[in-house]
Amino acid sequence: MDATDPIQSFESGAGRPALLRDWRLWAILGTAAVIVLVLLPRGGKKEAGTNPAGGRPVPILAAQARQGDMPVSLTGLGTVTALNTVTVKSRVDGQLIRVDFTEGQMVRQGQLLAEIDPRPFQVQLMQAEGQLAKDRAAYQNAQADLNRLQGLVQQGIISRQQLDTQNSSVAQYEATLKADQAQVESAKLNLVYSRITAPIAGRVGLRQVDAGNMVRASDAGGLAVIAPIQPINVVFSVPADDIQKVLGQTAKNGKLPVEAWDRDLKTRLATGALAAIDNQVDPTTGTVRLKALFANADRTLFPNQFVNARLLVDTLRRVVIVPTAAVQRSPQGSFVYVVKADSTVEMRAIEVLTTNGDETAVKQGLASGETVVTDGLEKLRPGSKVVLPKPTGTKG
C-alpha cells in the first residue's frame, strides 16, 4: 500500500491533528457569526429619554428664572425659652383646702391660685396679739411707776439707784413690746401666705398637688410651674465664622429680624428681633449662641420647643433667582439645564451667590426669563428633547 494515501494516513493517525484543528476553527467562526447576528439588531437601539437626536421626549417640570431681591440669612437650630420660669410653692405648712386655677390657664400676677387652711395662723395671730396686749399693760404700769419715782427723787425721798432700776425695767418692757409686735406681724404674714398667689403672669402648668393634701414650705415639687409666653425667647447658634457679619449688621442696622420656622422649614411660626449675642465661642461646636425676642401674640411658640431660627443679615438686590431644585453640582461646579425654544435642553454652568431655603441666587451664567428644569433631571443629557405637562383642563 502507498504510504502517501490519505485514507491510509488517517487510519494510521498521521493526519488526525490537522483535521481536528480545521473543525475547531470552523466551530469558532460559526459561533461568532451567530453572536453577531443576535446582537446586530440591538446595536442600534437607544434608551428613551437619553437620545439627544430623537426618541421619546422626557417629561419634566420647569420654572422661569426671575430677577428680584434675595435675603441672606443664617439658620440655626434653636430652643424656645421663657423669659423666667417660676415654681409656685407654699411658704407655710398646712392643709391645702382649695385649688383655684385650671391646668394650662393663663394667669395674671397676684391672682389667687390656692389656699391653705388659715385657722392655725389665725390662732397664732390671736395669741401674739394677746401677748402684745399683756406686755403693753405691763409697760404702761412700769412707765407710770417711773413717773412717780422721778417726783420722789426730786423731793429726796428715794435714792437715785431706785430710779435707775425703774428706768431699766421700762426699757425692758419696750423691747418686749417690739418682740411681741414682731410676733404679731409674723402671724399676719403667715395668714397672708396661706393664700398662694401667682408671683408672675404666664401659663400655669400641670397641677402637682391636689386639694386635701398637706403641703410644706420644704416641698421640692411645689404646686405648679408658671412660664410666661408673651413675650418669649428663642436661643439658637450660628457658626463662629459668621459672627462678624452679624456684629457688623447689628452695628449698622440695629436689631436684626429673626424668624422662627418649624423643623421642616416649611411653616413660619413667628417673627421677632435679635436681642443678645453671647460673649464667647463654644469650643466644642465652633458656634456662638444668640437670643431673639418674640412677641408671640398668637402663642405659636411654646417653652422648650425646638425651632429653626432664621436670622436676616443682608439682602442682595436685583439678582437672578432660580428654584434650588434646579441647581445641580458636579466636580466642575454648579450647573442647570436650560430649556431652549426647540424644546431641547442645554447644560449651563452657573456661579451661585447664595441659597436661602427653596431659592438660589445666581451670580452669572443665567439670565432672567430663561426656563430651567426643576424635576426629571436624572433622565436628561445635553440636547435631550423634553415636554412640559399640559395645564389642568387642557384637552390633548
User: Mean per-residue pLDDT for 346-365?
Assistant: 88
Mean model confidence pLDDT for the chain: 84
pLDDT for position 179: 94
Q: What is the DSSP letter of 378?
A: G
Residue 350 banded pLDDT, cuts 50, 70, 90: very high
Residue 395 banded pLDDT, cuts 50, 70, 90: very low
Residue 252 banded pLDDT, cuts 50, 70, 90: confident
Judge whether residue 3 has pLDDT over 70: no
The answer on 196 and 266 residing in a single domain is: no
User: Mean per-residue pLDDT for 381-385?
Assistant: 89
User: Mean per-residue pLDDT for 242-262?
Assistant: 88
Measured between alpha carbons, how far is 214 from 102 in angstroms, rounded to an integer?
Answer: 20
Residue 249 banded pLDDT, cuts 50, 70, 90: confident
pLDDT for position 154: 77
- Please give the residue range of the domain that contains residue 145: 86-226
Residue 32 banded pLDDT, cuts 50, 70, 90: low
pLDDT for position 26: 62
Measured between alpha carbons, how far is 110 from 9 in angstroms, rounded to an integer?
Answer: 127
pLDDT in tens, 225-237: 999 999 999 999 9
Measured between alpha carbons, how far is 349 from 60 in angstroms, rounded to an integer?
Answer: 20
Say if 305 falls within a structural domain. Answer: yes
The answer on 372 and 325 residing in a single domain is: yes
CATH number for the domain harbouring residue 308: 2.40.30.170
Task: Tell me how far CA of residue 38 lies from CA of 28, 41, 308, in angstroms.
Answer: 16, 7, 60
pLDDT in tens, 99-121: 999 999 999 999 999 999 999 99
pLDDT for position 95: 95
Measured between alpha carbons, how far is 118 from 95 in angstroms, rounded to an integer?
Answer: 9
The answer on 147 and 34 residing in a single domain is: no
The answer on 141 and 157 residing in a single domain is: yes
Which range in 20-29, 139-148, 172-181, 350-359 is most confidently predicted, on average pLDDT?
A: 172-181
Number of Cβ within a 10 Å radius of residue 44: 6
Q: Are strands 232-239 and 224-227 parallel, antiparallel or unpaired?
A: unpaired
Say if 90 falls within a structural domain. Answer: yes
Which range in 126-130, 152-156, 350-354 is most confidently predicted, on average pLDDT?
A: 126-130
Say if 52 falls within a structural domain. Answer: no
The answer on 258 and 181 residing in a single domain is: no
Using the 3D structure, point to which of 226, 241, 267 is the last residue of a domain.
Answer: 226
Say if 395 falls within a structural domain. Answer: no
The answer on 243 and 355 residing in a single domain is: yes
Say if 396 falls within a structural domain. Answer: no
Rg from Cα positions in the chain: 47
pLDDT for position 255: 85
User: Facing residues of 225 across strands?
Assistant: 87
Residue 142 banded pLDDT, cuts 50, 70, 90: confident
The answer on 143 and 254 residing in a single domain is: no
Q: How many CA atoms lie within 13 A of 314 on its CB side?
A: 13
The answer on 240 and 218 residing in a single domain is: no
The answer on 320 and 186 residing in a single domain is: no
pLDDT, greater one: 43 or 380:
380
The answer on 114 and 74 residing in a single domain is: no
The answer on 219 and 95 residing in a single domain is: yes
Residue 380 banded pLDDT, cuts 50, 70, 90: confident
Among 47-56, 236-245, 248-257, the minimum mean pLDDT is found in 47-56
Task: Count up the domains in the chain and report the number.
Answer: 3
| Continuous H helices in 156-282 | 160-193, 243-253
pLDDT in tens, 48-71: 444 554 568 889 899 999 999 988
Torsional class of 20: left (φ above 0), alpha (ψ -120 to 50), beta (otherwise): alpha
Judge whether residue 384 has pLDDT over 60: yes
The answer on 250 and 114 residing in a single domain is: no
Say if 57 falls within a structural domain. Answer: no
Say if 183 falls within a structural domain. Answer: yes
Query: Using an 8 Å Cβ cutoff, are 3 and 15 in contact?
Result: no
CATH number for the domain harbouring residue 220: 2.40.50.100
Q: What is the DSSP letter of 66?
A: E
Percent of the chain with pLDDT over 70: 85
| Continuous H helices in the chain | 6-12, 16-43, 119-155, 160-193, 243-253
Query: Using an 8 Å Cβ cutoff, are 208 and 221 in contact?
Result: yes
Number of Cβ within a 10 Å radius of residue 113: 21
Residue 378 banded pLDDT, cuts 50, 70, 90: confident
pTM recorded for the entire structure: 0.64
Say if 49 falls within a structural domain. Answer: no
